[in-house]
Amino acid sequence: MSSRVLGFFRISNPMIRKELRQRLRERRAWLLPSLYLLVLSGTVAFCYYMVVQEGTQRGTELQGADIGQAIFYTVVFTQLAVLLLMAPVFSAGAITIEKEQRTLSGLLTSLLTAPQIWWGKFVSALLYLFLLLFSALPLLALSFAFGGVEPLALLKATGAMVLVLASISAVGLWCSATFRRSVHSTAAGYAIVLVLTIVTAVAFGILLAHWTHSLGGNHQDAPPVYVQAPLFLNPMYPFLSLLDDTDLRKFAYPASSYLLFTAMGLLAAAFAIRRLRRSGEQV
């Protein structure tokens, strides 16, 4: 590997240090993780209460594994929802802020390359999301105390979350490289997240209804690939296959989803770097 490529990825990239320093000086650097953990803790407590309440009402003996699984999946999906809401905030404003405070020309006329600038912004946006993600690991590990969840499930969920967040952050950076103002790029970032989560689910619903109708409304099989296809770009999809539920396990193409998210992230990165190289008119 050439020294140029190594230089691009090295952690000593001055952009990464600058970004992290600036980010950790903001008040939200400690406020957000505190709020985030508070929300997750509340959700776990609520989930535990609901599961125990339901078991008491049914009058059946409550298994520890049921509580463990309920806590695990609740934390995973709550984390995903909250981090999907936060990802555009950190990435979509990362380059526009340089345009707004008129500092982008200083970066572009230095010896930093456009990929180095992009990589610095990407790593710092992602590292902050990872800080939130990994700070919640003790809450996820709570489920091990009750049983019913394998460590492999935790690894899979964390891996899928990292991939989805990296891809969404790359898309946010592309918006940031394209627009001049943070408010526009953040709005565009949220619009894309909405399309990926809501529009793909609606499209899936329509295709599923059509397919069910064509079978006379009576089916036991998993929907075919073409019906599930819109969901491959839904950030929730890779997690559905993790669930220990017979109905939800029918969504069994996580690899297609991983590939699509990887491709989307790489494309967004390539377009963002290209846009960054040509952003002399915006400075």
Residues near other proteins (CB under 8 A) are 14, 17-18, 21-22, 25-26, 98, 101-113, 278, 280-281, 283
- When the beta carbons of 182 and 228 are compared against other proteins, the nearer one is 182
Whether the CA torsion 198, 202, 207, 209 is positive or negative: it is positive
Q: At what angle do helices 64-91 and 114-135 cross, to 10 degrees?
A: 150
The encoded tokens of residue 189 equal 């970032």
Shortest Å, Cβ 172 to other proteins: 21
User: What is the spatial distance between Cα 283 and Cα 279, in angstroms, rounded to a whole number?
Assistant: 7
Shortest Å, Cβ 169 to other proteins: 22
Shortest Å, Cβ 248 to other proteins: 46
Shortest Å, Cβ 272 to other proteins: 18
- When the beta carbons of 15 and 154 are compared against other proteins, the nearer one is 15
| DSSP 8-state secondary structure symbol assigned to residue 252 | -
Shortest Å, Cβ 108 to other proteins: 6
Shortest Å, Cβ 7 to other proteins: 9
Tokens 């019913």, located at residue: 148
| DSSP 8-state secondary structure symbol assigned to residue 230 | G
| HEC string for 86-155 | HHHHHHCCCCHHHHHCCCHHHHHCCCCCHHHHHHHHHHHHHHHHHHHHHHCHHHHHHHHHHCCCCHHHHH
- When the beta carbons of 26 and 150 are compared against other proteins, the nearer one is 26
* CA 67 to chain CA mean position, Å: 25
Three-state DSSP state, 1: coil
- When the beta carbons of 67 and 107 are compared against other proteins, the nearer one is 107
- When the beta carbons of 167 and 178 are compared against other proteins, the nearer one is 178
Shortest Å, Cβ 43 to other proteins: 33
Q: Where are the beta strands (DSSP E) in the chain?
A: none
User: Could you give the angle at the alpha carbon of 74 between the alpha carbons of 68 and 77, nearest 5°?
Assistant: 135
Three-state DSSP state, 11: coil
- When the beta carbons of 96 and 257 are compared against other proteins, the nearer one is 96
- When the beta carbons of 82 and 272 are compared against other proteins, the nearer one is 272
